[in-house]
Structure formats: structure tokens, C-alpha cells
């Protein structure tokens, strides 16, 4: 018993710094935020009133909030497919090369090293200046359009920049999974007459399920909280048509008629949505991993 206690005490001591940081910067703000979501605090005054579920009742009729939820869901669905498909394709192609693996890993990972706020402003300059110059000077009429001013084009631009920024990170995770596949399995399948597609679907894809689970989980959470790309690229426009739920919350808390308690209530709803979807996603993916 004494030995067992000593081992647990050592583990607790090593984990203590992380637990303390998590409690101070994650758990405590979440609990306090839940309390403020039931107040009319504006984030500035010391005096505020407890109003119970008043903020949540008001959210029911907040049309802009639900529009931002729908836009965010659309963004999440497209990003889950586009980002993971692009990253997995790049990982497979690069791992299949005999030379230049390090160069291409670095090349596609580099956007992940740039803050997406900066990346968004860079792409905003490209969409509003560079592409128009190409259209005017070289007759490339395809580029002569409103990339961030038209709702449909703006959504495509946001997806493009988001995939550009996240693909490198996901690609590295997929490459780690690919490197863990025993070579003899692929060689045996090839000897049995399996083509490249059968090799990928019957051997590669099932064996990288853990990597797929991690990438889908990470993409889901990051996409639901998207703010920086949209803020720097379109600002939520035109006319709130590309406003994500995170931007809607930011607008409520820090611009115009500041209502911090109301914004916190919106954040609480967003947390519940992401939490439930994450649980469902992890449960489904883990079940598939066990079946494989």
C-alpha cells in the first residue's frame, strides 16, 4: 500500500503543474462564465443583476445568432471534408516519394507557422489587389470578380484560406499514421494482385483510423471556433453573410452595445453544441476503430 501511494504521489506531483494551469486558465473561467451568462453584466461596471435564464430566452429570438450558427455549421461540414481530404492526399503522395520528402513536408507545413490573422490579411490583399491586377494586365477574366464582397465567393475564399492554413498540420498527423503501417502488408497485398486503390482502402485507410479520429476531432473543434480567418478576410461581411458564431459573440461582447453576460450565454450554447458533437464523433470513430 505504501509503495502504491508513493507511485501515485509521484504521478500527482508531475501532473500538478498541468492541473493547476488547466484549473486557473480553463476550468475556473468556464465556471465563472456560466455564472455571468445568467447576469446582465456589461463587462465594465461592477454592479450587475442576476437574471437567471433571461439571456438564454432572449437568444431564442436572436436571428443574427442563429444565422451565424447555420453559417458555422456549413463551414464545419465543408472544412471537415476539404481539409482532411487534402491533407490525407498530400500525406499519401509525399510518403510515396523516394526523394524530397523533407522539402515537401516543410513546404506544406509552413502556412501553419503563420498566425491566421496575418495569413488572412495576406490573402485579403491577394483577393482585392493581386487578382484584379492579373485580370486587368493579363486578361485573366476569371479573377475579375468580387472575391470577398460577394457572399458565395467570400465563402469559397474563406474555405480556401482555411484549408491552406490547416492542411500542413493535419498532413503531419496522417504521415505519422502512414509511417506506422508495416511495409510487408502492402507488399503482400501487391503480390495478391491488389491495385493501388484496393491497397489504400483495404489496408492503409483502416490502419490509420487513429490518425483520422484525431484529425477529424481537431478540425471539428477548430472549425466551430473559427474567428481569425473570417475576421481578417471578410470581417463577417458582406452584410453578416459570412459571420461565424465566434464573430457574433465577439461583436456582442466587445463592439457596439456591449453585453458581456449575453455574449457569455451565447458562448455557453456554443460550448454545449461543440461538446455534444465531439462526444458523438469520438464515439462513432472509436467504434469504427474497434470494428477494424
Name the residue ranges covered by the structural domains of the chain.
Answer: 61-291
pLDDT bracket for residue 7 (50, 70, 90) = low
pLDDT digits (tens, 9 = 90+) for 70-81: 999 999 999 999
- 192-199: long-range contacts at Cβ-Cβ below 8 A with a sequence spacing of 24 or more? none
Nearest residue to 223 via CA among 253, 252, 244? 244
As a whole number of angstroms, the distance between CA 129 and CA 56 comes to 43
- Homologous superfamily (CATH) of 61-291 is MetI-like (1.10.3720.10)
pLDDT digits (tens, 9 = 90+) for 183-209: 888 778 777 777 778 888 888 888 888
DSSP H helices in the chain: 2-22, 28-36, 54-60, 63-95, 101-109, 116-125, 131-138, 151-179, 183-191, 196-199, 205-207, 209-224, 228-233, 245-254, 260-291
Which range is least confidently modeled, 3-12, 49-58, 60-69, 271-280?
3-12
pLDDT digits (tens, 9 = 90+) for 103-127: 988 899 999 888 899 999 999 999 9
pLDDT at 210: 87
pLDDT at 3: 61
Amino acid at each position: 500500500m505504501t509503495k502504491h501511494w508513493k507511485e501515485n504521489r509521484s504521478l500527482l506531483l508531475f501532473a500538478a503543474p498541468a492541473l493547476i494551469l488547466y484549473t486557473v486558465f480553463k476550468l475556473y473561467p468556464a465556471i465563472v462564465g456560466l455564472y455571468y451568462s445568467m447576469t446582465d453584466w456589461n463587462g465594465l461596471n461592477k454592479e450587475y443583476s442576476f437574471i437567471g435564464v433571461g439571456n438564454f430566452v432572449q437568444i431564442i429570438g436572436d436571428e443574427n445568432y442563429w444565422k451565424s450558427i447555420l453559417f458555422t455549421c456549413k463551414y464545419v461540414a465543408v472544412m471537415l471534408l476539404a481539409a482532411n481530404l487534402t491533407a490525407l492526399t498530400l500525406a499519401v503522395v509525399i510518403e510515396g516519394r523516394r526523394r524530397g520528402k523533407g522539402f515537401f513536408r516543410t513546404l506544406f507545413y509552413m502556412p501553419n507557422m503563420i498566425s491566421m490573422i496575418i495569413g488572412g490579411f495576406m490573402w485579403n490583399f491577394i483577393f482585392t489587389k493581386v487578382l484584379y491586377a492579373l485580370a486587368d494586365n493579363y486578361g485573366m477574366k476569371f479573377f475579375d470578380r468580387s472575391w470577398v464582397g460577394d457572399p458565395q465567393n467570400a465563402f469559397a475564399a474563406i474555405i480556401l484560406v482555411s484549408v491552406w492554413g490547416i492542411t500542413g498540420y493535419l498532413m503531419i498527423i496522417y504521415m505519422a499514421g502512414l509511417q506506422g503501417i508495416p511495409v510487408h502488408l502492402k507488399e503482400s497485398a501487391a503480390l495478391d494482385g491488389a491495385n493501388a486503390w484496393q491497397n489504400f482502402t483495404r489496408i492503409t485507410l483502416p490502419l490509420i483510423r487513429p490518425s483520422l479520429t484525431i484529425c477529424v476531432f481537431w478540425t471539428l473543434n477548430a472549425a466551430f471556433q473559427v474567428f481569425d480567418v473570417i475576421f481578417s478576410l471578410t470581417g463577417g461581411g458582406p452584410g453578416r453573410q459570412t459571420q461565424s458564431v465566434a464573430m457574433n459573440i465577439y461583436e456582442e461582447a466587445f463592439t457596439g452595445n456591449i453585453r458581456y453576460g449575453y455574449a457569455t450565454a451565447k458562448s455557453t450554447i456554443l460550448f454545449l453544441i461543440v461538446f455534444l458533437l465531439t462526444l458523438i464523433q469520438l464515439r462513432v470513430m472509436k467504434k469504427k476503430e474497434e470494428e477494424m
